[in-house]
Structure 1
Amino acid sequence: MTWRLWPRGLRPRLLVAFVLVTLLGAAAAAWSSAGSASTALVTVTQEGLTDTLSDQISAITPQLTYPPDQAALDRLRAAVGPDTAVTYRDLRSAKGAATGLVTDALRAAVRTGNRLVVQRITADDRPWLLIGTPVTITALNGERTPSGIEVYAVRDLTGVQRQIDDLTRSAVGTAALALPLAVLLAVLAAGSVLRPVRRLRDTARRLAAGDLDARSPPRGADELADLTVTINQMAESVQSSMATQERLRADARRFAADASHELRTPLSTLTAVVEVLGTMTDGMEADARESADLAITEIHRMVRLVEDLLEVSRFDAGTVRLVAEEVDLAAAVWNCLRARGWTEQVDLVVQQEIWLRLDRRRLDVIVANLVGNALRHGDPPVRVHVSADRDQVWIVVTDHGPGLAETALPQVFDRFYKHDAARTRTPGSGLGLAIALENARLHGGDLTAGNAPGAGARFVLRLPRTLEDG
């Protein structure tokens, strides 16, 4: 619970920590000063009272008779003052209710030690000083012998306690006076520390937003300046790396586009040749016919690859534009299946009549890629489910094959990605799903992949009901 009350921001934490340290320091200093002063005051008061008592006893002692009688004890008690008790064997002279505070421990210490003893106690919520001392007889030769007389005086220390309380209140007041100064110093210190931190934060945000030219000028020679230099060096390295990667990507895109354009014309010629060749295979020998069929297949595969590369290069160049029109979605999907001879292999389920503004050709590309992928790599039945609500339209393609491996899901839309290395010679180029995803996003929608419960792979095309022409 305590940690929840601790502020989370760096600035509030610095302020609170600085103020607490300052207040604790001021309080400790004030309290120490008050404690020292209080101890000194009590010591001085105690010494004054004991000296006064000793002087009073010394002044009256020569006038006493030994062994003393009751009258002698009364004179000694009167000379010492109120709240005093004087004892000699069975004789006792006392005046003042406070004399009842004298403890047995004090009496035992006086008798056994034969010396002056003091004791501080608290009674009735008031502090008292108990003083006990034996009276000695000094002979003419200076020899001192115990007389058997004991004097006990009780002195009220309430006045001293009041002065100690005043010192304590003064210490608290001093610590309280340090609060505004501590807050001011904390604000100034936090500002000087956090200002460069805020500059670094702003620079980091600009870098994260893609502004690779963002830098923070280092100031001073402290750790924050070293951190600023390090961040600037990191930004330089990232900018250089990004520039290099972008140059390489641009070179790769340009190469793919140029190669595709250069290959398009000879491939068109080859296509015409293989079409003629295809009409002549019936009269060929088996080996020659097999070779011709393989050549025809590979030529068609290469043509599709070149067309896909050209389409990808157009996406990379940002030259792709939608040709939007109002389309009956169910009819468009059915025409896509019928044109490829898939109507007998695919179940089309449409919940309602859906008219949507989109690019008919690009929708055909998306559906053909998804269904073709399901037919090649999944098991029947393959189902296409079309549904919609007020804002979104969904086309879901599901097969009943083994599904997508968990390791394949993050990469299934990557260009040239084929999860099964044994399928590198399949008719697909490895670009179909990547092109489908680009076309979905071009419409303002999205394309996701996963596995359907109790079935195989499941691809979901989501399109908005309202298309923004771009």
Structure 2
Amino acid sequence: MTLLPSGLRARLVITFTLVAVTASFMVAILGYQLVRHEILERTERAAVADVRETLPKIKLPVGIGEIIWAGAATVTEADLADVVTALSAHERTVIVTYGNLQQTSWDARFTMADVPDQLRWQAAHRLVFQRLRLRDEPWLLVATQLQRINQSGVPRPTGLTAYVFVSLADEEGVLFRLRSALAQAGGITLTIALTVALLSARQVLLPVRRLGAAAQALGAGDLRVRLPVRGADELAELTATFNETAAALEQTVSELRTLESMSRRFVADVSHELRTPLTAMTAVTDMLAEDADDLPDDVREAVRIVIRETKRLRVMVEHLIEISRFDAGAAVLRRETVNVADTLADCLEVRGWTDRVELTVPADLTFSLDARRFDVIVANLAGNALRHGAPPVLVSARPVPGALEVTVRDHGAGIPEEALPHVFDRFFKAGAARSRSDGSGLGLAIAKANTELHGGTISVARCDPGTRFTIRIPRPARPVVTATV
């Protein structure tokens, strides 16, 4: 199971949107980082510069001619308070230490415990600064030890260390508003990207959809379908190729239909033309059959061959005429409610098969059928079983839900498994022995065509022993006329 969309439209929209959003996101992140870095750097530079400029101006307690160093008793907390006052400003907290003395701003929010140990060590040697987050707020901590040039002109540490906490709340507010603006811009970008993606996907896929609809119409038999060629891109080339293919297919199918129509007409015409001479030949062979026993042996054998082949030719012509009606769409179904038992009994009796075929059917079974075509179906199947199978040949009929089921089974060697899919093909004969039989090779094809004309199905299966044909004819939706004798 996959969560990826299967439609081309969805994939195009998602891909386009992802590319646009990813590019926008990367630009926004890069821009935000640059702005953030510049704002914080500028704030740091300003704070550090202010501290640097303020430190030289601070008045420190001095002796007669020398800086007072740590441990001097003359440095008081008041002196440290003066230093704190000099470094104080809005949104600042200042801590000044001198040995064991310490002084902080009057509104101090922090203590020396908030100063990192590493920063304390570094502040003893140079001016250092670090961004911290204290009390869930951003701060810049600037730390340094004050120095003065002594009488010898050498810079010396005074022992006074100042820690200046500069608030970065304003800068954080600016960055928060910037993030909000970038998020809103991202939402707008997403909406625009999605809209553009949908429009672009529609523009790209519209020719593809037209091609799909045209291909469906072509597959449904509309060979005249064509598409307008717009533009000069790959889709336009594909459309032009489709039109060329459709035109070639239409021409080929038209030629094939013409040839098929000519072939059907030729078969029908030949079959009808053969009827007249066959009628005369049949009459002559009937006369010869009456006197065949009085003829010499060689002449008698020749006469019997002529009689047999004439009968076979007559059956084949009748089958060809029947097949031509189906091919021409001229076969008409005339249903009527008949007694199935009587119809099957008449079918066997007319052909002299009553003693050779066992019939099993309820005496009161009635069904809506075209009696003539139903007779042809059963006769072809039973005749095929008698010619190629072995007794007993069984014909049975029974009602099933919404349909009539008729089975014809023999107990012979059976049709080979590989031949089963082809038994209803025209002129197909399974095995060399059947290819030399008296059948036309059209009987089963005609039985299938008549069954399908009833809206039914016919199937074949191997048994042990023999072969079984099953016919299933559905009950008609509309009422039919009841046959009367």
For structure 1, list consecutive stretches of 5 or more residues without a partner in the other structure: none
Aligned to 2:83: 76
Letter of the 1:53 partner, please give it. Answer: V
Aligned to 2:239: 228
Aligned to 1:306: 317
Return closer, same or farther for 1:176/1:325 CA change in 2, 3 Å cut-off: closer
Aligned to 1:295: 306
Deviations 1:333-366 (A, max 9, x none): 1111222233333332224623234332211111
Letter of the 1:347 partner, please give it. Answer: E
Q: Which moved more, 1:340-349 or 1:420-429?
A: 340-349
Secondary structure of 1:98's aligned partner:
coil
- The 8 Å contact of residues 404 and 450 in structure 1, kept in 2 or not, is answered as no
Return closer, same or farther for 1:287/1:17 CA change in 2, 3 Å cut-off: same
Return closer, same or farther for 1:458/1:143 CA change in 2, 3 Å cut-off: farther
Aligned to 1:461: 471
Structure 1 distance, partners of 2:453, 2:425, is 17
Structure 1 distance, partners of 2:123, 2:270, is 117
Structure 1 distance, partners of 2:32, 2:328, is 80
Return closer, same or farther for 1:30/1:282 CA change in 2, 3 Å cut-off: same
Structure 2 distance, partners of 1:351, 1:84, is 115
Structure 1 distance, partners of 2:136, 2:413, is 89
Q: Give the alignment of 1:193-232 within 5 angstroms.
A: 193-232=204-243
- The 8 Å contact of residues 415 and 462 in structure 2, kept in 1 or not, is answered as no
Return closer, same or farther for 1:378/1:156 CA change in 2, 3 Å cut-off: farther
Return closer, same or farther for 1:264/1:87 CA change in 2, 3 Å cut-off: same
Return closer, same or farther for 1:447/1:399 CA change in 2, 3 Å cut-off: farther
Structure 2 length-normalised TM? 0.85
Residue 98 (1) aligns with residue 110 (2): yes
* 2:48 maps to which of 47, 50, 63: 50
Structure 1 length-normalised TM? 0.87
Letter of the 1:37 partner, please give it. Answer: V
Q: CA deviation at 1:213?
A: 0.2
Letter of the 2:114 partner, please give it. Answer: L
* 1:41 maps to which of 39, 42, 64: 39
Q: Give the alignment of 1:58-69 within 5 angstroms.
A: 58-60=56-58, 65-68=67-70, 69=72
Letter of the 2:69 partner, please give it. Answer: P
Secondary structure of 2:33's aligned partner:
helix
Return closer, same or farther for 1:172/1:428 CA change in 2, 3 Å cut-off: same
Structure 2 distance, partners of 1:122, 1:402, is 97
Secondary structure of 1:408's aligned partner:
helix
Letter of the 1:457 partner, please give it. Answer: T
Aligned to 2:248: 237
Q: CA deviation at 1:83?
A: 3.0
Q: CA deviation at 1:446?
A: 2.3
Secondary structure of 2:240's aligned partner:
helix
Structure 1 distance, partners of 2:121, 2:348, is 117
Structure 2 distance, partners of 1:172, 1:419, is 78
Sequence identity of aligned pairs in percent?
A: 39
Residue 318 (1) aligns with residue 329 (2): yes
Return closer, same or farther for 1:67/1:374 CA change in 2, 3 Å cut-off: same
Deviations 1:68-122 (A, max 9, x none): 444465543443236333445x4442423423211112234445xx333322232
Aligned to 1:277: 288
- The 8 Å contact of residues 285 and 307 in structure 2, kept in 1 or not, is answered as yes
* 1:175 maps to which of 167, 182, 186: 186
- The 8 Å contact of residues 324 and 358 in structure 1, kept in 2 or not, is answered as yes
Q: Which moved more, 1:388-397 or 1:328-337?
A: 388-397
Deviations 1:277-309 (A, max 9, x none): 323333445444444333322221121111111
Secondary structure of 2:346's aligned partner:
helix
Q: CA deviation at 1:463?
A: 2.2
Q: CA deviation at 1:142?
A: 7.3
Q: CA deviation at 1:400?
A: 3.6
Q: Which moved more, 1:25-34 or 1:355-364?
A: 25-34
- The 8 Å contact of residues 230 and 236 in structure 2, kept in 1 or not, is answered as yes
Aligned to 2:120: 107
Give the RMSD, CA atoms, in angstroms.
3.0
Q: CA deviation at 1:126?
A: 2.0
Secondary structure of 2:459's aligned partner:
strand
For structure 2, list consecutive stretches of 5 or more residues without a partner in the other structure: 481-485
Return closer, same or farther for 1:74/1:434 CA change in 2, 3 Å cut-off: same
- The 8 Å contact of residues 85 and 92 in structure 1, kept in 2 or not, is answered as no
Q: How many residues align?
A: 463
- The 8 Å contact of residues 352 and 387 in structure 1, kept in 2 or not, is answered as no
Q: Give the alignment of 1:133-148 within 5 angstroms.
A: 133-138=144-149, 144=155
* 2:348 maps to which of 329, 337, 345: 337
Q: Which moved more, 1:267-276 or 1:166-175?
A: 267-276
Return closer, same or farther for 1:416/1:452 CA change in 2, 3 Å cut-off: closer
